[in-house]
Amino acid sequence: MLVFLLRRVMQSGVALLVMSVLVFVGVYAIGNPIDILVNPEADSAEIERATAALGLDRPLWTQYLIFLQKAFSGDFGNSFVHGSSATQLILHRMPATLELAFAALVIAIVLGIPLGLWAGLRPESASGRTIMGLSILGFSLPTFWVGLMLIMVFSVQLGWLPSNGRGSTVDLFGLPVSILTWDGLKHILMPALNLALFKISLVIRLTRAGTQEAMLQDYVRFARAKGLKASRIVGVHVLKNILIPIVTVLGLELGSLIAFAVVTESIFAWPGMGKLLIESISLLDRPVVVAYLLIVVAMFVVINLIVDILYSLLDPRIRLNAAAD
């Protein structure tokens, strides 16, 4: 276990380092942020001043080494555009994104598992086929289009839900949370559903496949023979067995929900990290882009680690030492 953890930490360190080099060079290759930032009315002297003020007058490798040195003490530098700490900017936006991601995850579970069970138990019925057909739509329709359609129907036509922004928030353990207010719930419903759409389809398909497989197993037959009620067989025995792969996949998908909610956040003007990333890229705000991607990589590393450990706890046949190889 300890060897596994140590090895994993070292691997993660290398991944972070490689990532930082790639992003640093990538953003540098796009162009000089000064050309975007400095007002067109500024003269050459002002361009030189701004270049020096943001540390862009040094060669790239010097800039990288300075970044690296500071990064080891947890400081990813100051945003070119905001003038304040890039990490702070991202952490400030993180609660909104986390809330959206978890809301989407809950929707995916609450809608996906029952629908998948139904489709798995009655694969040939009309309802089962409809559910599977809809899940194909959920996979294939582009997020931005579905988002706009949701807005057109529920905001513009029906006027039921607000089209953009985050509702009023209350502080929970020092973090602003919007799902505890009616206004907040109204605001989060559409973006969360939009973000969840793909995951709902995923959960439906996983649950259906698992159910179909489980229903043929001996323990189900035995339970039937024993005279257990169908609801107990499905609700307890089948569900318990099929949940393991679903939990694993959802754990991994949570990472992508958090990191790549960019499209949904832009369409619904959700003030999260994804929107910050897009704005930062368009202004070539390198410190924010680098910090964002490093935080995301670190997050994936942690989630993967937790999933690996959970997996070994749930299924004793899997050993962590083997997983590391």
Q: Contacting other proteins (CB under 8 A), which of 1, 17, 42, 252?
A: 42
Contact status, residue 262 vs residue 278, Cβ threshold 8 Å: yes
Stretch touching other proteins by CB under 8 A, among 3-11, 34-42, 59-67, 210-218: 34-42
CA distance 267 to 39: 28
DSSP string, 90-144: HHHHHHHHHHHHHHHHHHHHHHHHHHHHHHHHSTTSHHHHHHHHHHHHHHHS-HH
Q: Contacting other proteins (CB under 8 A), which of 119, 276, 290, 297?
A: 276
Torsion angles phi and psi, residue 269, rounded to 5: 50, 45
By CB under 8 A, is residue 49 in contact with other proteins? yes
CA distance 303 to 250: 11
CA distance 227 to 230: 9
Six-digit token pair at 80?
């070119």
Stretch touching other proteins by CB under 8 A, among 60-68, 177-185, 208-216, 295-303: 177-185
Least gap, CB of 31 to other proteins (angstroms): 3
H/E run at residue 171: strand 170-172
Six-digit token pair at 16?
């972070």
State which residue, 14 or 45, has the beta carbon closest to other proteins.
45
Q: Contacting other proteins (CB under 8 A), which of 77, 162, 210, 287?
A: 162
Q: Closest by alpha carbon to 8, among 243, 210, 288, 300?
A: 300
Q: Contacting other proteins (CB under 8 A), which of 9, 66, 156, 314?
A: 156
State which residue, 133 or 165, has the beta carbon closest to other proteins.
165
Least gap, CB of 93 to other proteins (angstroms): 7
DSSP string, 41-83: T--HHHHHHHHHHTTTTS-HHHHHHHHHHHHHTT---B-TTT-
Stretch touching other proteins by CB under 8 A, among 100-108, 135-143, 164-172, 209-217: 164-172
CA distance 283 to 80: 9
Is 177 strand, coil or helix?
strand
Stretch touching other proteins by CB under 8 A, among 2-10, 25-33, 218-226, 229-237: 25-33
Least gap, CB of 210 to other proteins (angstroms): 38
Question: Interaction with other proteins in 221-240: which residues (CB under 8 A)?
Answer: none
Six-digit token pair at 141?
């329709």
Site string for other proteins, 112-151 (x = CB under 8 A): ------------------------------------x--x
Hey, which residues does 176 pair with through a beta bridge? Answer: 171
State which residue, 58 or 122, has the beta carbon closest to other proteins.
58
If binding means CB under 8 A, how many residues of this protein chain bind other proteins? 61
Q: Closest by alpha carbon to 78, among 300, 285, 323?
A: 285
Question: Interaction with other proteins in 78-107: which residues (CB under 8 A)?
Answer: 78, 80-84, 89, 92-93
Question: Interaction with other proteins in 60-79: which residues (CB under 8 A)?
Answer: 78
Question: Interaction with other proteins in 182-201: which residues (CB under 8 A)?
Answer: 182-183
State which residue, 126 or 158, has the beta carbon closest to other proteins.
158
Residues engaged in binding other proteins (CB under 8 A)? 30-33, 35-47, 49-50, 53-54, 78, 80-84, 89, 92-93, 148, 151-152, 155-156, 159, 162-170, 180-183, 266-269, 271, 275-276, 279, 281-284
